[in-house]
Structure 1
């Protein structure tokens, strides 16, 4: 019996399927299926001392969506594999942050793909303070940009229409300085 030649596209398709099946999780991880989802990373690490424990998405996380624990899963990296630099894989780095772009399941989360949650939204009315020594001047302004605590943003004074730049404070106010 003579073997039939395999077409190039069928060969590629078969190779692709084999690569996808064999290379399952790009994060080179083994799921901790026998571990409960609420177990801490240190508990899992003590049970499996050979691999590093990291967090990756278990579903698609869309841009602008807050990252919650329910959207993440703990995996143990295959022994000898280490997470790449500039990847967020710990709870402190991810909990409550906002996705800047689509995060896919089973993939590492680049630090550049997440941001702090906005403390003030664009177009929101805020209190603006200028403090110099014992002098404090306050005014109402409208934000021209969203910002998290510590961000330097622009606001428009509601009374004068002047555009000011200031720092978002932890309480949602804006502190401006003399320029």
Structure 2
């Protein structure tokens, strides 16, 4: 069977024109003005989108954030994900996940921020003088100690009692004190 070049060219032009008319616009721009005529097209676009993060807004660094630097919202910019772009699972992308946290490693502009690359700000710094409390029932014993490692609220840190020189482990409380328990 022999095909003529002119017929093939006409077929290609017709197919191209049809593709441009029916599917040339992005899915987000295909809003139907006549709902009764295009309901099936809207349903298929929704089914195609499925579980994708269509139009999801995420925060990424707008400049280099160095290790030990506190992350503030001024150093971040909002970006809307494109259709079909998936956000990785273990990244922080919302303001409440990032504001006030500290970078554990260099965060580059335009890149996602891995959850393991940020931490809570330290409530107690290494070498700081802190109050240590032992509470058992109605008994409360307090002492002054020096922290041997930094820690955020809820972290277990080691401290050295200034009077006795003993090393104790305790939990950092929200007010910056250390609570030890009987061991």
TM-score band, normalised by the shorter chain?
A: 0.7 to 0.9
Shift of 1:118: 0.1
Determine the structure 1 residue equivalent to 2:136: 132
Determine the structure 1 residue equivalent to 2:94: 90
**Structure 1 stretches of 5 or more lacking a match?**
1-48
Determine the structure 2 residue equivalent to 1:160: 164
Conserved 8 A contact 1:52-1:82: no
TM-score for the superposition, normalised by structure 2: 0.71
Shift of 1:51: 1.4
**Structure 2 stretches of 5 or more lacking a match?**
1-52
Whose radius of gyration is greater, 1 or 2? 2
Matched, 1:106 2:110: yes
Structure 1 CA distance, aligned partners of 2:130 and 2:54?
Answer: 51
TM-score for the superposition, normalised by structure 1: 0.72
Shift of 1:113: 0.1
SS class of match (1:141): strand
Name which of 34, 37, 57 aligns with 2:61. Answer: 57
Shift of 1:50: 4.0
- CA deviation map 1:74-97 (0-9, x unaligned): 000011212100100000100000
Higher helix share: 2
Determine the structure 1 residue equivalent to 2:124: 120
- CA deviation map 1:68-122 (0-9, x unaligned): 1110000000112121001000001000000000000000000000000000000
Name which of 124, 129, 147 aligns with 1:143. Answer: 147
Matched, 1:67 2:88: no
Q: How many residues align?
A: 131
- CA deviation map 1:20-61 (0-9, x unaligned): xxxxxxxxxxxxxxxxxxxxxxxxxxxxx9411000000000
Determine the structure 2 residue equivalent to 1:44: none
**RMSD of the alignment, in Å?**
1.0
Matched, 1:171 2:175: yes
Structure 1 CA distance, aligned partners of 2:140 and 2:56?
Answer: 51
Shift of 1:160: 0.2
Structure 1 CA distance, aligned partners of 2:60 and 2:54?
Answer: 19
